[in-house]
Structures are given as structure tokens and as C-alpha cells.
Amino acid sequence: MRAVVHDRYGPPTVLRLEDVERPVPKVDEVLVRVHATTVTQTDCHMRRARPFLWRFMLGLLRPKRRILGLEFAGAIEAVGAAVTEFAVGDRVFGLRNCAHAEYVCVRQAGLLAHMPEDATFEEAAAVCDGMSQGLAGLRNGRVGRGTRLLVYGASGSCGTAAVQLAAYLGAHVTAVCNTKNVELVRSLGADEVIDYEREDFTKNGATYDVVFDAVGKHSLVRSRGSLVPGGLYVATDRLYNLPLAFLTRWLRTKKVVFGVSGYKRESVLLLKDLLDAGKYRAVIDRTYPLEDVVEATRYVESWQKTGNVVLTVNGGRAR
């Protein structure tokens, strides 16, 4: 099968297509023929091994896992003997390492769900990662009905997810994005939208219970004046936020909480329900064929994308 591989850490050009051995499902796994996957900022961090901490998980000198990719959508090609929830031909989506390939094996009890009836493979592939990160941040920020929430970086993968999920949870959502994405973010459920090219939210006098930095480009110091006493700054990146979260944990004043947590199957199943109910939608900026993974990765690393960047596999835009 074809897969995107890399044998060393570095720029997007270390990625290349190669024929590799097709995986064989274990008794509790399904084999998914991938129709669509995505390029995420997590993929880029892993490919560069930056920050250096990634190397302790991925391989100190070179990557132990040659194939990147987290999100996928496709059709089941084969099932293991113990699989009862899925059948050959089922359209599925979820999260699994090594998704930048034509086939991937996923445990029946893993991060896997049946696709919504009306979703395309591209749409189903472009929802799980951002939604999982967004939901983790909202939960760690204790966001619920009536919470006054500001989402900084509201037009990215995590940001568009956080806006939609916060609206679903009943929060009052103020979203911060650039001019071109104001109407998009408003359509996702934001109560107010601040165009950062025209206004600095830290200087307008408004305060919030939670500031959610969905792109890792803000800080507690810059946000302090925009938080109510006891307010929370939810970080999703920047290693210095880890010790800050520890140091502010027992304080009664404004605190840092780290919004990233492990992926959970319950989040994928919740996402399916929200998609089925029309309460969540995929936001896709660009779609590339798998062969153009280097170009797609460069675009993701430009930090100019809106929502998600999709790679099509095995024939492209099938439903």
C-alpha cells in the first residue's frame, strides 16, 4: 500500500510516498481503507520533533514511527474474528496513528465510530482532532451554561471546534479571529466576534471567566486584565505553561490550566451524535491529494489555514 513516510526529523521535504506492507487486523481490530485524512499541527510537531521533548516519545535520533497522521475516514475492508460492532463495508471515522496511508488497523474498542449518514469522507476526517482538543480545554476550564468564554484563535482547527462546543454547552462565546473569518466564526455559534486586526481584546475593558488560547500564541500575562478574579487561562501549547499550571494550581487568583488531554472514545461518539443532530460541522480550508502532502504540510505550517487541511486517498471525494 502507499503511505507517507519520513526517516528523519526535519522540514516538510523529509516526507515522501512509499510502498509499505499493508497491515493485518488482529482479532479485535478492523482494517479500514482510508479515503481521507488530515495534516494537523500535531503532525508537524512530530515531524520536526519540536519541542525536543517529542524525541523522548518518538525516537531520540530518528523517528521510530515512520508514518504520521491521526485522523481518518474510510470504509471497513476486513474485520477480526472477535469484532461484533462493525462489518465489512461500514463507513467509519476516528483517530489512529499512521493514518497517512491507504489502510490502517483500528481496535473495535478504540477511537472509532460509524460515520454520520450525510457526511462525506473529507468532512468526517476533519473533525476528531480539533474537537478532542477543544473539548478537553473546555472541560479543564469548567466551561458550562452561563460561562463567559473568550476563544483566542477561533478560526483554526481547535478554535472552530471550541466555539461550536462551547455554544452547545450554553456558554456565552466571544471569538477572536482575523477579518476574513469573522462571518464564518459567527456562523459557528459565537455570540460576539472580535477582529484582532482592528481591536485588541486585552484593551477593551471586557472580562471573562475563561480565556481559551486555541493556537498557543497568547499568555496568562497578556490575558490577566481580561480575566475575572479566579478566572482561568486555558493553554493548549507552549511548555512554559506546564510549570505555570502547577504554580498557580492552589492560588485563588487567576490560574493557568493546560487544555490538552488524551484522546477518548467517548469524545468520538459524542461527536458523531452532534454531527447527526446538526449541532457540529466540519470546517475545511483546503483539500489535497495524498501525493501533495509536502505542499499541504507547508500550508499548515504557514499558520494561515482556516479550520482543517484534508488529504484525499483512494479515489478522493467518495461519499
Domains defined for the chain, CATH in brackets = 2-127+282-312 (3.90.180.10), 129-258 (3.40.50.720)
Residue range 83-104: mean pLDDT, rounded: 97
Question: Can you name the residues that pair with 149 across neighbouring β-strands?
Answer: 173, 210
Burial of 139 (0-12, 13-18, 19+ CB in 10 A): middle
Instruction: Give Rg (Cα) of the chain.
Output: 20
- The Cβ of residue 71 has, within 10 Å, a number of other Cβ atoms equal to 31
The maximal CA–CA distance of the chain, rounded, in angstroms, is 61
- C-alpha cell recorded at residue 212: 481559551
Rounded CA separation 255/240 (Å): 14
Model confidence over 20-72: pLDDT tens digits?
999 999 999 999 999 999 999 999 999 999 878 778 888 999 999 999 999 99
Find the range with the poorest average confidence among 216-220, 228-232, 239-243, 255-259.
239-243
Question: Which of the four pLDDT bands, split at 50, 70 and 90, describes residue 319?
Answer: very low
Per-residue pLDDT at 257: 79
Torsion-angle region of 263 (φ positive above 0: left; ψ -120 to 50: alpha; else: beta) = beta
Residue range 289-309: mean pLDDT, rounded: 96
Share of the chain above pLDDT 90, in %: 80
Question: Can you name the residues that pair with 150 across neighbouring β-strands?
Answer: 174, 211
Q: Any residues with CB less than 8 A from the CB of 7 and at least 6 apart, and which? A: 14, 62, 63, 66
Question: Which of the four pLDDT bands, split at 50, 70 and 90, describes residue 109?
Answer: very high
Residue 86 has pLDDT above 70, yes or no: yes
Question: Which of the four pLDDT bands, split at 50, 70 and 90, describes residue 135?
Answer: very high
Residue 161 has pLDDT above 90, yes or no: yes
Share of the chain above pLDDT 70, in %: 92
Residues recorded for the chain: 319
Question: Which of the four pLDDT bands, split at 50, 70 and 90, describes residue 165?
Answer: very high
Per-residue pLDDT at 181: 97
Per-residue pLDDT at 244: 55
Rounded CA separation 123/112 (Å): 15
Residue range 156-170: mean pLDDT, rounded: 97
Residue 262 has pLDDT above 80, yes or no: no
Ordered DSSP codes for the chain: -EEEE-SS-SSGGG-EEEE-PPP---TTEEEEEEEEEEE-HHHHHHHHT-STTHHHHH-SSS-S--B---EEEEEEEEE-TT--S--TT-EEEEE-SS-SBSEEEEETTSSEEEPPTT--HHHHHTSHHHHHHHHHHHHHTT--TT-EEEEESTTBHHHHHHHHHHHHHT-EEEEEE-GGGHHHHHHTT-SEEEETTT--GGGS---EEEEEESSS---HHHHGGGEEEEEEEEE-S-TTHHHHHHHTTT-SS-EEEE------HHHHHHHHHHHHTTS----EEEEEEGGGHHHHHHHHHTT---BEEEEE-SSSS--
